[in-house]
Structure 1
Amino acid sequence: MDSGVAMGENKPGEHRLRTYVGVLAALATALVGSWVYLFGLTLDARLIVGTLILGSLVLLGDLYALRVSEQSAIGAWDIALMVAVVMVGPTWAALAAVPSAILVGGRSPLRTTYELAHSVVIVHLAGAVFSFVSGPVLLDGSAPPAAVLYGALLSGVVLTGASEAVSAATYKVKYERPFGETWQEVVQPYLLPDLVNVLTAAFGVLALVLYGPVAAVVTVAGAMCSQVLVYRSREQVEKIRELTDRLSSMEDALASSNTTFATMIIRDLGRRDGYTHRHAAATAVYAADLAREMRLEDSRAGRLRIAGLLHNIGLFGLPEEILFATGRPNSVAQARLTEHPVRGEQALAAVPEFGEVASWVRWHHERPDGRGYPDKLRGAWIPVEAKILAVAQAYAAMVLDGPSRPGMNPADARRELGGGVDTQFDGVVVRAFLRILDTESEGYRMADDHRFAFFSLENGGRLGFREGNDHGAVPR
């Protein structure tokens, strides 16, 4: 048995430790003497053979503990000792623990004395409890199996509790560690394994009484294997959770870097026409607020915000004479401009984190009446997120001053939206957006206050969002 408490030289606590081990040894001697005085020492071949077998199991339990992780192992020492108390009585059980105590103590007389005294104390306390039920089961088979089971359970609990108490006292004496700290760090994490060991020993004894030694061995071995599987399963779950967290962090970092890069492109276009970056910022704000107003999940509102910011990323790479032309574009220029949803989808789909966002960007110019582009989708075939983007970007385009025309006043823009209900725009989305506008300030309606600022690259090239009104995230 390994109590887990080092007995090496520790000058400040060495004197206290020697005194403590002496007191523990005196208590062990008193318990043995009292037991022999009260109950005598029965010499029986069955007890001797049982002690030899159980002593071998205790020793093997220390020598060949089953390693389940870098921090913990499952051994048969305590299980075998619990069984020994029930089968041969405490005095013989103490003798069964001697080889293990000598092994653990090594060349240190103090450590060996401690291990012996520790074992003697806990087995006699446990044996005192079991004596109320029956004598050693190898000699007295008159007790009902149920009584043996209950007695084994109680004696196992006492043995385990006494062992933890002796160890806690040792930590207090040697290291002056508070009992509360020992409980949290040494005892509490192992309460469940200790309980499983008690149950394993008790049912092993029951199997031995009812079905013989083979059934007992199968019961104990099966229980120990179950413990190993539980420990290793828990360890694998922890590893998977840790890997998932790390992967999520890496994906977030990658998505953030990709968003930053895409925002640099939008900002560059905006620097040249004075409009694209402001339109992207306004669309992002309106789309996120619409998502919250329509009770979409926060995660979808966040992705819609990104989609609003990047919905015109497909404009990048088009000739400047088309991008910055004044007046109405000719048919060739118009055809090139209508390619930008597809180009945007292709650019975003190359980033795994933007797969869903890419489809919304592709369809943000679709219309409920089927006259949109690029796929001429109708009504229910258009995702609600794409419908939200359509309303958000259209309203932003109406109220903002463009490269070649001034913006509308909010009242006219509202009428434009209302006039396009169920033809150009989805009616549910338009009505939700009008509710937002009714509760917001004039600056919000005109996309012209601090919430619509497109931050510089010194702030990461991204919109900064805060929790604002009841409609959700808005730029700060």
Structure 2
Amino acid sequence: MSSAVSAVRKRPNAARAYVACVVALAVAATVVWEILFGFYLDQTTLTAGLILCVFCAAERFTHVSFGMGSAVFELGGVPVLCALVLGGPACALLVAVPSVVYRSPSRAAFQGAALALQILAGYLAFSLLHPDPLLAESSFSATFVLGTLAAGLAFFGLDALIGPTLMRLKYGFSMREVVREIVAPALPSDALTIAATLATALAVVSYRPLAAIAILAGSALSLAAVNLVRDNRKKALRLASENEALREALRDSNLEIASRLVGRLGQRDGRAAAHAAASAVYAADIARESGLDEGRCREVRLAALLMDVGLLWVPDDVLLVPAQRLNSLGRRHLEEHPVAGEEVLSGLPGLGEAAHWVRWHHERPDGTGYPDRLKGAWAPQEARILAVASLYASLILDGPSAPVLAPAEARQVLVAEMGKAVDEGVARILLRLLATEVDSYASASDERFVFEGVTGVEGRGSVVTKDPLFRGQTTP
């Protein structure tokens, strides 16, 4: 705790030191530039600078917030970059004055220093390819285009370094957050700013009255690009958050319903809760081993927990009698429970597909199952997983149909039923799991199979599972 507090306290100090370094570097760079190259403004450059300065001041009202501290994006880059390639660094510094006006002196100093460094770096890159600004030469050449591109890359590259570094130091954001939330959304606008600068330069050379229109159009496109990226990202994040919240709510709601229904069934026959718990664990593990994603595994597990809920509508004189002793009417009642289970699940939100798996969990590969006599692969993979999990759980747990079997004997029965009662491929996955797990897994006797209130049949209707799929979820 103390280390965390200490780290938080160190952030403002580190940020202040960084601002001081940037300001000092900008002052030193400006002095060196004045000594080596000098800053010049003639009448034409001064007039162009004042006009662009007005544009820059007007664009202070069109900033876009990124929602990270006090980070904002302003469109002053359009007139500043235009001034840089049209009139040189002195013109650009003049145009940038409105962009550094803030109530906070430290923020104003940092913004001014950052812009000064960007302007000097941008013009240095420009002059390596084109020696003079456009107003001094009035020639829109290939070297001018390349110089403008180089100036834009240097200008915005330094901008992407200086500001985000302060954000990291001041607010503790990770580099990934800064790049995703600040740097990346501004890239389309930066590209449009360079394009607008080239269009303005061409307009100045060819159609001087249209230069202002080109600047305004570039600024509008730049703002639209940033707003579009930001709004689309916010919308996507909001939708993702809402979808996840909805899925969590549905999962919790369905778990609660499942626990109550299975709890009621367990109070009638004394075994349904234990069978549901074991089937759910085995089914989820088989699904995972089959390559299904975690979301699908959760659905399979919930379907396994509820696959016999249709037995609630089966009379006790059928439910509590071994299947081999039932008459034709009793067998018909028993074979109707998958359809009843489907009707229950289809009425629950988000379980429409799982309802089909429950309907077909008693289908057999040889086509003699019920209720639809589906054969082989006509039954979905998830339904075949439920069938294997249900059969094995019924073999190792007490029930009205047959005495409990030892895990080794249950495996032998499972092997004998492959291709007849259960799908061979799915059965082999469970056999592989049983061979690699501990003995308590094969007998469904360790803590993974404990659903409190369901396996205990205490009537509380509560499910607590320690399986990673539902870790930490409890339904009252």
Q: Normalized against structure 1, the TM-score is what?
A: 0.71
Conserved in 1, the CA contact under 8 Å of 2:342 and 2:359?
yes
Tell me, in whole angstroms, the C-alpha distance in 1 between the residues paired with 2:91 and 2:230.
Answer: 38
Are the equivalent residues in 2 in contact too, given 1:148–1:206 (CA < 8 A)?
A: no
Greater Cα shift, 392-401 or 365-374: 392-401
- Secondary structure of residue in 2 paired with 1:422: coil
**Which residue among 307, 313, 316 is the counterpart of 2:309?**
313
Once the two structures are TM-superposed, the CA of residue 361 in structure 1 deviates from its matched residue by 0.9
Are residues 21 and 375 of structure 1, via their aligned partners in 2, closer, same or farther at CA, if it must alter by over 3 Å? closer
- Match of 1:380? 377
- Cα deviation, 1:40-89, whole Å, max 9, x if unaligned, reads 7644xx44543443233233223x42547677765443321332233234
Q: Does 1:259 align with 2:255?
A: yes
Matched, 1:269 2:265: yes
Q: Structure 2 vs 1, CA of residues 210 and 285 (structure 1 numbering), >3 Å: closer, same or farther?
A: same
2:339 corresponds in structure 1 to 342
Q: Call closer, same or farther: CA 1:166–1:28 in 2, change over 3 Å.
A: farther
Summarize deviations over 1:258-281 as a string: whole Å, max 9, x none. 222222221232234221112212
- Is the CA contact (8 Å cut-off) linking 2:134 and 2:201 kept in structure 1? no
Contact 1:88–1:138 (Cα < 8 Å) also in 2: yes
Query: Which residue in 1 is equivalent to 2:13?
Result: none
Within 5 Å, give how 1:273-352 maps onto structure 2: 273-325=269-321, 328-352=325-349
Counterpart in 1 of 2:388?
A: 391
- Would you say the 8 A contact 1:65–1:73 is kept in 2? no
Q: Equivalent residue of 2:350, what SS?
A: helix
**Which moved further from structure 2: 351-360 or 113-122?**
113-122
Matched residue, 1:465: 467
Pairwise mapping of residues 2-151 of structure 1 onto structure 2 (< 5 A)? 42-43=42-43, 46-47=44-45, 49-62=47-60, 64-65=61-62, 67=64, 75-91=74-90, 100=98, 104=101, 133-141=130-138, 145-151=141-147
Residues 352-371 of structure 1 mapped to structure 2, 5 A cutoff? 352-371=349-368
Aligned amino acid, residue 275 of structure 1 = R
Equivalent-residue separation in structure 2 for 1:148 and 1:404 (angstroms): 89
Find the residue that maps to 1:352 and give its secondary structure.
Answer: coil
How far, CA to CA, are the matches of 1:431 and 1:384 in structure 2? 14
Determine which of 196, 202, 207 is the counterpart of 2:202: 207
Structure 1 residue 381, shift from structure 2 partner:
1.2
Q: Which residue number corresponds to residue 237 of structure 1?
A: 233
**1:143-162 superposed matches below 5 A:** 145-155=141-151
Counterparts of 2:442 and 2:205, CA distance in 1: 83
Matched, 1:228 2:224: yes
Q: Report the alpha carbon displacement of residue 347 of structure 1 after superposing the two structures with TM.
A: 0.5
Change (3 A) 1:219 1:306: same
Call closer, same or farther: CA 1:75–1:338 in 2, change over 3 Å.
same
Q: Which amino acid aligns with 1:311?
A: M
Distance 1:114 1:447 in 2: 66
2:66 and 2:73 in contact (8 A); partners too: no
The structure with the largest alpha-carbon Rg is 1
Aligned-pair CA distance for 1:109: 11
Q: TM-score, normalised by structure 2?
A: 0.71
* Identical residues among aligned pairs (%): 33
Kindly indicate whether the alpha-carbon contact (under 8 Å) linking 2:39 and 2:89 is maintained by their aligned counterparts in 1.
no
Cα distance in 1 between the residues matched to 2:218 and 2:275: 68
Q: Which residue of 2 aligns with 1:473?
A: none
Structure 1 residues 355 and 185: CA distance shift in structure 2, 3 A: closer
Alpha-carbon deviation of 1:302?
3.3
Q: Distance in 2 between matches of 1:82 and 1:94?
A: 10
Q: Which moved more, 1:181-190 or 1:434-443?
A: 181-190
Deviates more, 1:389-398 or 1:209-218: 209-218
- Residues 199-220 of structure 1 show CA distances to partners (whole Å, capped at 9, x for unaligned) of 2464245433664343784376
Q: State the secondary structure of the residue aligned to 1:50.
A: helix
Superposition CA RMSD, Å:
4.9
Q: 1:49 to 1:427 in 2, by over 3 A?
A: closer
Q: Does structure 2 retain, via aligned residues, the 8 Å contact 1:153–1:198?
A: no
Deviation at 1:148, TM superposition (A): 2.4
Paired residues of 2:200 and 2:214 also in contact (CA < 8 A): no
* Aligned AA (1:61): E
Distance 1:383 1:163 in 2: 56
State the one-letter code of the partner of 2:380.
P
Q: What secondary structure, in the 3-state scheme, does the structure 2 residue paired with 1:309 have?
A: helix
Structure 1 distance, partners of 2:110, 2:255, is 64
User: How many pairs align?
Assistant: 437
In structure 1, give the amino acid aligned to 2:249: A
